Amino acid sequence: MYKFIDLFCGIGGFRVALQKQGMECVYSCDNDPFVQEAYKQNFGEKPDGDITETPANRIPKHDILCAGFPCQSFSISGNRGGVSDPRGRLFYEIVNIAKHHKPYILLLENVKNILTIDNGAAIKTIEEKFGEIGYDLHKHVLNASFFGVPQSRERVYFVGIRKDANGEIDYSQPKETRKPIYLENIFEKDVDKDFFIYRDDIQILKDPLAVNYDLRPIRIGIVNKGGQGERIYSSKGHAITLSAFGGGVGARTGLYQTEEGIRRLTIPECKRAMGFPSKHYVSEGMQGYQQLGNAVIPEMITHVWNSIRVN
C-alpha cells in the first residue's frame, strides 16, 4: 500500500482521490482552524498547523508527497509576488520535505498564473529546485470542464518523478474525457429565496432557450455593468471557476439562469461542481464557499494519478 502526505491539505481533495485508490494518508497539515475542523469531520483526524514549525524528520516516511501549495501569491486575485511572497515561499517547505524523505512521486497543483509570474522566473525556480534534489518535473495545464466536472477550472498539475526511478515510473498527460455533464444536472430544487436576485438592472442578452449545450460557461446576461460577479450564465453550460474571494452580487460562484430564476450556487451545488461527495463536510456560510474555492478537485487528481505508470 502506497503512503502519502497531504500538505496544505484544505478540505482534502488529494486525500479523497488517493484513498479511493487504496492508499494511506500518514500526515496532513493546514494552518486554517476552520479547515482543520472540516478535515477532522471528514477524515477523523486534525491536521498539523504551521508547516514551518514541523521539522522534516518529524513527518512520517511516505511514497507520495501531495501539495496544493498556497496560490494567493501566484493568482490574479493575489498580489502575484511569486516565490518571493511569504506564502509563495512555503514552496520551499515542500522542497525541504522532499529532499529529506525522497518520495518516489510528487503530486502538486496550483493556478496557471504560476507559469508566467516574473516572466517565467517563478516556474523556472520551481523546476530548478526540484531538479537539484533529484526530480524530473512534468507539468500540464488542465481544465476540469474536459474531465467530467461541470466547472471551468484551469490549474497546473505537476508530477515530480524521482530521477533514479526513470524507466520504472512513467507519466503522460491525462486524456480528456469530454463527459457531457452540465449545470442543470447538479442544480438543487426548492432553493431558498435568499440565493435569488431580484433587481431592475438585470439584462438578458441571449435567449436562454436558443443556447446549445457546451462544456464551458455560457454567458447570457449581466447585472449592473457586468463586472466580476455580475455575469449571468446558462444552465446548459458550466460554472465559472469557483473562487475563495471576489465581489459582486454573484461573488464566489457566479450567477446562473435556472427554471426558478437567476441565482447564486448553493454549497451542495458547489460541492458537485468541485466533484466532492455530497456528505463531504465544509464549514457553514462564507467559510464553506472559501474552502471549496481553495480546494483541489478530487476527480482531477484521479486522472493525473491514472496517467502515472509504475513499470
For the stretch 15-74, pLDDT in tens is: 999 999 999 999 999 999 999 999 999 999 999 999 999 999 999 999 999 999 875 544
Instruction: Find the catalytic residue in 9, 25, 66, 71.
Output: 71
Per CATH, the homologous superfamily of domain 183-276+283-288 is: DNA Methylase, subunit A, domain 2 (3.90.120.10)
Least confident of 9-13, 111-115, 257-261: 111-115
Query: What mean pLDDT, rounded, does the chain reach?
Result: 92
pLDDT, one tens digit per residue, over 136-165 is 999 999 999 999 999 999 999 999 999 998
Query: Do β-strands 255-258 and 231-233 pair in parallel, antiparallel, or remain unpaired?
Result: parallel
Calculate ∠ Cα 30-32-33, nearest 5°: 110
Element (H, E) at 301: helix 298-306
Taking domain 3-178+291-310, whether its CATH number is 3.40.50.150 is answered by: yes
Residue listed under C-alpha cell 518523478: 161
Cell, residue 212? 446549445
pLDDT at position 78: 43
Same fold, 3-178+291-310 and 183-276+283-288: no
How is the chain split into domains, by residue range? 3-178+291-310, 183-276+283-288
Q: Is 71 a catalytic residue?
A: yes
